[in-house]
Structure 1
Amino acid sequence: MTYVKTIGAALLASVALASAAAASCEITLRSSDTHPDGYPTVAAVNAMGEMLKERSDGRLCIEVFHSAQLGEEKDTIEQTQFGVIDMNRVSLGPFNNIIEETQVPSLPYIFRSVGHMNKVMDGPVGQQILDAFSDHDLVGLAFYDGGSRSFYNSEKPIASIDDLAGMKFRVMQSDMFVDMVSALGANATPMPYGEVYSSIQTGVIDGAENNWPSYDSSGHFEVAKYYTLDQHLIVPEVLVMAKSSFDKLSVEDQALVRQAARDSVPVMRDLWIAREQTSEARVREAGVEIITDIDKTPFIEAMVPVYEKYVTSTVLQQMVADIQATN
């Protein structure tokens, strides 16, 4: 614990020269994101900060440290739990081994579309998952859109499940995603997001899987020019806050933070739609081969053992049933 706190403090000290705007606030919440400046999640938290500052009459601000300035997701989760980082935007994947409820929306093919995912996460199932963070020194604030994730690689077009056999793909640091790739006949390599480009370039891995904006903003399309739209995952992003930081706020300020987080969601979704379109156009213009003619049925059928392994408790089984019943 001391080691994590020391590392976290050192990281913050290296980047914690607050902006002039944040310096005038009584409380500045430091928020982490691995994505670059201008990315929809980064812009959404910035928008949340503007709302919070206005609604608190300038007392509360948010300073966003983008581009993994405070570390990769796994590291920043620990720092947020210890209160070294106040807020954190993270994919649900890295939480799968920590919070059981996050496994359900991370299941392959659990959502029929992004719209279906948004409706579920805005409803009772989403609130149930947000509430589960409280047992892990975190406060769940809101869900953002993470788009649909598909495979890309540097070796060949993938048009069927057979084409995946023996290939090496990076996945998020989640046991479920390792098992998902294994069930498809490929080899999973968990690694931090920031190491993917060089690993594909040097042949350590054949490819990875992600959405249009991440495939674009990371530059992965430069070294992995085959993108198969199998859409195996539609995993939400989550915005969390350190419970220790949240508990320091007054009840009134806590309510302001929660409401500003909720109000940042439609901002993020609008930015996401625009960014997806821009990223897809850029990737296509770069000459990437996009594979769309694919039968998803064998992919879905291969996920049966993954569901059997992870959807074991009655709570999770009911969550799956509730998601499938959501129209």
Structure 2
Amino acid sequence: MATLRFDRHRRLRQTANLRAMVRETHLHVDDLIYPIFVVEEKGVKREVPSMPGIYQFSLDRLNEEMDEVVQLGIKSVIVFGVPAEKDEVGSQAYCEHGIVQQAIRQIKANYPDIIVIADTCLCEYTSHGHCGVIENEQVLNDPSLELLVKTAVSQAQAGADIIAPSNMMDGFVAAIRQGLDEAGFTHVPIMSYAIKYASAFYGPFRDAADSTPQFGDRKTYQMDPANRLEAFREAESDVREGADFLMVKPSLAYLDIIRDMKNHFHLPLVAYNVSGEYSMVKAAAQNGWINEKEIVMEMLTGMKRAGADLIITYFAKDVARWLNE
């Protein structure tokens, strides 16, 4: 052994403090964006059956959730709405008194320092559950853009700090940027769901947002999970059209795409740790099969290591507690 030469990598792993000293990737509370679901009812705090620990809130109970968010040091929320009425064109998405618009106003009035991100889509508001205008069971791109612009402008008027369009229509960033600018909201950034895959990981979200398509699927406008180069084309278009953030959704099965985007583009990069990723961990933890805290922290650190600057995650409150400990 005296003549055997090899590297001593373990020298830097001997104690917890030494490992912390040389740790390369850090997860912070400031990295977290917490999704909130708001419904047009009264007295409601309703747990989503497929998402343990996640609730739908009516406006009169929304402050209960926001108080906890602020207490934990989380600085940003993304708001999803479940309207009482739906129609073919999702008119409640762009109604001045729509549920998301009311929630935004309430949050900004009571918690002015919180960054409020508005999810900008039609699927929660349309009777057919698709993200645009339908004709002969086909989603029409350009007519859908007109409604998405109206939605984005109404959300900005309500006080949204960031518009986050999730519809995956071609040209949605260009259309929304122009619409916001013409309405006087040149200062409002766009967080584009630039790379959104047609994923099986979205199931529990559709329970929470009541947005399951009533026919077909979303594969004609969301990306094929098998594709990598397509993600570059989508992101390049959004950057050219005026996006201020890029998002990859889902994240756990797409860490390679997150790294690709981080290496190629220089905008803040968001990973969406989606509902299916959340629910799988929660279910396994409830069955005693895994250590939830260790699994979640490893997953989210992996997303940061892959290149994410921000993470939208239903675990945000849990992670904030663990980090504060």
Structure number, greater radius of gyration: 2
Is the shorter-chain TM-score for this pair beyond 0.5, marking a shared fold?
no
Structure with greater proportional helix content: 1
TM-score by length of 2: 0.26
TM-score by length of 1: 0.25
